Structure 1
Amino acid sequence: MRHVWEHGDERMDRTGVGTRSVFGTMLRFDLSGGRVPLLTTKRVYWKAAAREMLWFLTGSTNIRPLLEQGVTIWSDWPLARYRRETGDAIAQEDFEARIVAEEDFARRWGDLGPVYGKQWVDWPTYRYGPDGRYEKGPGINQVSQVIESLKADPGGRRHIIEGWNVAELDRMALPPCHKTYQFHVIGSGRDARLNCLLYQRSCDVALGLPFNLFGAAMLCRMVAAQTSMRPGELIWAGGDTHLYLNHAELVRTQLAREPAGEPRLALVRVPETIFDYRFEDFAVTDYAPQGPIRAPVAV
């Protein structure tokens, strides 16, 4: 954060807010012994991040299941579209309440397009039909394929979950930021350790990165458990790594704080498949963060 704020190139961006940005960054985290990259210099709402990751794995693209659990982190984009297209300056709380209460309203205004989960578990395919025209084929569950490939060929170099579907970007409320997950195995048998590399094309360091790190660590832990491996290392690689100019107060406050403690993430239960995890299957301990620091989301 300090490096980006002090040395980043100041530039305008899609949101019109403006950023300070550096390109090409890397962080490494040891996940052994239950370690988890959870910031202590401000409170990270890891429960919301966990619910989001589980929502991705369902393949859902509608915010209604998240709002029913009190998770509002995806509301800004459909709310902006609703206001723009209807001219109704509805309050966010009222919009979210209608999404939860009204199924038809949620279907019309709560859908984000084919974002993360859709690409992860139902990547669309097309094939030639009998009449020579393209017809829709079966969707590809990348998550299932990666788990099976890790079991069958742990030394392989193709254990990848990809969210960047070029053909569908224009239908997404927000193209995937944390776009590519690659898994890598060290050792064998009972000593096998699973590493995960996440490439993030665009990273909001103040608000997005804390969620992204926890979510990636959580996914790595789940995949490791499903393949009978131990978690190894999480490597995070950033493309455009930036801080928004209107986050100056957050940056100053957070940089004045000292990290303390070493949180742990435990899996309480390992279900039959990665799609059967419930929120109650995860427990975070030894987490005593400093207070939350609020800042606006750039949409």
Structure 2
Amino acid sequence: MNQADKVYLDLCQFILEKGTRKEDRTGTGTISTFGYQLRFNLQDGFPLLTTKRVPFRLVVSELLWFLKGDTNVRYLLENNNHIWDEWGFQKWVESEDYIGPDMSNFGIRSQLDEEFNKLYREQMSIYQEKVLHDDDFSQRFGNLGNVYGKQWRSWEGADGQVYDQIQYIIDEIKRNPDSRRLICNAWSISELKGQMLPPCHFAFQFYVVDGKLSCMFNMRSTDVFLGLPFNIASYALLTHLLAYECDLEVGELVYTGADVHIYSNHIEQVEKQLSREPRPLPTIKLNRLVKSIYNFTMDDIELIGYDPHGPIKAPVAV
């Protein structure tokens, strides 16, 4: 059994057996535990789970979006990535500009009411088209505030200066690989009210030893079934990209979670995933002609040998 799936499935089993029932912001309800850590040896393969298909191209486009410093979902929509749509959509339907049918609590209602789900999908389609083709609308309702890309690439300090945290890490690795300050922080307390979703993966740190780059990322809140597989793959890819930029091999990826939970409407899906046998992990190949991580495109990152079980659908709690 590959260790990536094993440690992830062990976490799922632990929450189901030992977790505590809790209410949450979305009204869905969770089974939760506090404080959990997973470790992945990136030399053993790329940790894209095989017990369900994880759409790698969505992982790639989201990470490239972060690295661009972008906060508008237009880039994601242009790359057929819809994992952030609900937050921009919520911003629109809660505004005075929205004149369509009532979309309150759309995340839950769309799962329970087929007639409402049809209306929701119609309004979401309108939203997506307007973000793609209406610049003013895109600026107002496609922009999610100062989320990850802004914090990673354009952190605004109390001194009035703007800091590129990713570039700082790259420069510091090359200058002083033994540094204990290879840290990026996305949690800005003064900007939480302006963000559609305050950062869940709020900080990460790199560590260099024996010519290998390792990364630990920290999450205040983890949706184990839908979110965590993406987060693991995204930070693994980020580690590969920074290792490439800094002429290093990859080492270990470490996840540390605080409130680690399974939503109550994901339990059946988790149990289905637990019944599946893991398969060999894939690998990735980067285009060596690209000189900077900021210049990578979707076509420059290739996934090799991915043979997972089929996808398992589940609703997103918004």
TM bin (shorter chain):
over 0.9
C-alpha contact (below 8 Å) 2:49/2:281 kept by paired residues: no
Note the aligned Cα RMSD (angstroms): 1.3
The 8 Å contact of residues 57 and 120 in structure 1, kept in 2 or not, is answered as: yes
Q: Which residue of 2 aligns with 1:247?
A: 266
- Which of 311, 314, 317 is residue 292 of structure 1 equivalent to? 311
Tell me how far apart the structure 2 counterparts of residues 294 and 32 of structure 1 sit (CA, whole Å). 30
Partner of 1:177: 200
Please list the CA deviations of residues 78-118 of structure 1 after superposition, one character each: whole Å capped at 9, or x if unmatched.
11221222252452122112211211111111110000010
Q: Which moved more, 1:254-263 or 1:225-234?
A: 254-263
Paired residues, what number? 285
8 Å CA contact retained: 1:194, 1:220: yes
Equivalent-residue separation in structure 2 for 1:271 and 1:168 (angstroms): 34
Which residue is equivalent to 2:257? 238
Number of the residue aligned with 1:3: 14
2-side partners of 1:256 and 1:270: how far apart? Answer: 42
Distance in 2, matches of 1:177 and 1:11, equals: 18
For the 8 Å contact 1:225–1:270, the answer to whether it is kept is no
Distance 2:240 2:281 in 1: 17
Q: Conserved in 1, the CA contact under 8 Å of 2:74 and 2:132?
A: yes
Q: Which amino acid aligns with 1:252?
A: E
Gaps (5+ residues) in structure 2? Answer: 1-11, 102-121
SS at match of 1:283: strand
Give structure 1 stretches of 5+ with no counterpart: 128-136
**Does 2:184 align with 1:151?**
no
| Structure-1 separation of matches of 2:193 and 2:316 | 21
Deviations 1:21-40 (A, max 9, x none): 0111111111126x111111
Query: Residues 108-187 of structure 1 correspond to what in structure 2 (within 5 A)?
Result: 108-127=140-159, 137-187=160-210
Residue in structure 1 matched with residue 4 of structure 2 by the alignment: none
Partners of 1:23 and 1:271 lie apart in 2 by 41
Q: 1:131: which partner in 2?
A: none
SS in 1 for 2:76: helix
1:195 to 214, 220, 223: 214
Partner of 2:49: helix, strand, or coil? coil
Q: Give the share of equivalent positions with the same residue, in percent.
A: 41
Match for residue 70 of structure 2?
60
In structure 2, relative to structure 1, the CA distance for the partners of 1:255 and 1:148 (3 Å cut) is: same
Aligned residue runs from structure 1 range 216-235, under 5 A: 216-235=235-254
The Cα shift of 1:270 comes to 5.4
> What code does the residue aligned with 2:100 have?
D
TM-score by structure 1 length?
0.92
Partner residue in 2 for 1:25? 36
In structure 2, the partner of 1:88 is 100
Structure 1 stretches of 4+ with a deviation exceeding 4 A read none
Q: Deviations over 1:247-268 (max 9, x none)?
A: 1221121111111122111212
More helix by share: 2
The equivalent of 1:280 in structure 2 is: 299
Aligned to 1:72: 82
TM-score, scaled relative to structure 2: 0.87
